[in-house]
Structure formats: structure tokens, C-alpha cells
Structure 1
Amino acid sequence: MPTQDRRERRNPIGPTTRTVGTNVRRFRSEIGMTQADLAKSLAANGHPIPVSSIGRIETGDRRVEVDDLMALSLALGITPVALLLPGARSPRDHVELTGWGEVEAGFAWGYVLGTRDLVDVVTVDDDGQPTAPMAARAYPLWAEDEMKRFYGLDQTTP
């Protein structure tokens, strides 16, 4: 299959890709790191990304794979979440989330931190019991019981 055909079938680059690029450039500049420095750091950590690709990430012309996201965040000394969301000045500022549209920045941050559901929907399982909200499911399995207790979904709690 020709390369052109594959590219046409891919989703277009969206707001999250552009935001990650903007944030890579912002955080890199804040710590006085050049694109070449970042490329060296990534290579030293076992996830090489060429300088030219870093430039394309920063301009939103190259997609960022999840492994890239993790490696970039480690090299920049920030969390992956800090790369994913726009650097809004106020929680009331509107930001765009891929697949959702515009939401307030505070709402978006609550969502990615696992403290806020995007949709307030109560769902039930096959037995008619309420399922845990997204925020309760956003944590690792070892924290599941604690989160269920927090949200009042633990049937053993009096």
C-alpha cells in the first residue's frame, strides 16, 4: 500500500499533539535546554528522538507516541500530565481536549488527575449496583479498595 494512502486514512493531528509540542518547547526553554540537549538526554535514557523530530514535535508536525511522552517528561523533569494539557492562566480558561472539545482548564486538569469525571453519569452493573465513577477507576488496582471506600461504593462499610 502506498505511503500516501496510509497517511490519508490516519486521524489528523489534533489539539493534544499541538499542546504537547507547545509544552515540550515551553518546559525545555524554561530549563535552558536546547533541542540538541534534549535529544542527547533522550538517547542517554534509551529512547532516542532525533533533533529534527524534536523540532517537528514542537511545531505540532509530528505525533507523540505514549513512549515518547513518558521519555520526554522524564528528560524535562515534569509529569506526563504537564505535557498533555495547555498551560492555562486560570482554571476558567477554555482548553481543547481531543475527542471532547472545549472545557474549562480546571475541569480538564481534574479529569487527567483522576479527580473529576467529564460526565456525571451513574452507571450500574448487571446486579443493579452502582459502578465506580471514572475517578475511582483512574487509580491502580492496588488502590481500588481504598477508592471504592472513598466514593462510598464499598458494600462492607457500615
Structure 2
Amino acid sequence: MLPEDTLRLLAQKLAKQLQDNQQMLVTAESCTGGWLAKIVTDLPGSSNWYDSGFVTYSNHAKQQALGVSAELIAEHGAVSQAVVEAMVSGALKNSQAEVAAAVSGIAGPGGGSESKPVGTVCLAVGLRDQPPVARQEHFSGDREAIRYAAIKVLLQELLRLTAKKSA
């Protein structure tokens, strides 16, 4: 199975769960540059369960569009669990959605550091009126492989999050 097919299948499962739950999704992406939004909106009928997406690549965009504080970014760095949690909260605040996903990472080939090497990605998912759940991952490979892995994990996390309601 091609990588794109894997993402499409995960997105189709997510679409069904969101529709079953009568929920809308919002995305807030940095290192993936809107790839998650593209995957979900490639599906026909996605307007029934996808509200909007924010591609906030720069720190300024994270602050302006999602309300992430400059102090939070300065203290933890843009690639941190604290920042992706704030991105989830900001995306939900600035949309009609009940479910949110956020991602920020270092996809390379440059930009890494000893404490945050290339492949470091922070992801978060959350429901409106509940605290977001974030995690940090380290993916290997080239820029595309790292971004693909981040989208795959985000879709899996969204499936887990929305399965709780449909169960």
C-alpha cells in the first residue's frame, strides 16, 4: 500500500467517526504546512465534518492566528508540547469545531539542535472544553518522511480521541 493510501484510509475512518459524533475538525499546522488539511479535504463531503485549518509556520503566525503567547514560545520553543497544546486551544477558540489537532516540528534537513534534533515533532489533539493531550515524537528519514509520519500519528490520535465519544 502506498503511503498516501494509508493516510487516505485513516482520514476516511476519521471522517466516519466525526460524522457519527456530529463533530467538526479544525487543524493547526506548522511543520506539515497544511498536509493534514489537504488529506482530509481530499475526501468528498469533508465540508460536513471539517471546519477550517490554520497553517501557522512562523512564531508570529502562531501568535496572531492562534493566540499562542510570545512568552510561551520563548520559554518552551515553538516545537514543544506546551505550544502545540496552545495551538489546539487557539484553533478551537477561533473555529466552530469541537475537535482539534496541532503539530509543530523540525522536519529538516536543517534547523535541529542537540536538544531538539531534526525529526523532533510535537503533536496535540483536543476536544472543546477539555485540556488538549500532547506528545513529542522523534521521526527519522528525510523531510517528507518526517512530515508523513507526523500526519499519520495525528490521524491515529484523532481516531482514538473521537472513538471515545462514538463508543
Q: TM-score, normalised by structure 2?
A: 0.22
Structure with more strand by fraction = 2
Higher relative contact order (CA 8 A, sep 6+): 2
Bigger radius of gyration, 1 or 2?
Answer: 1
Q: TM-score, normalised by structure 1?
A: 0.22
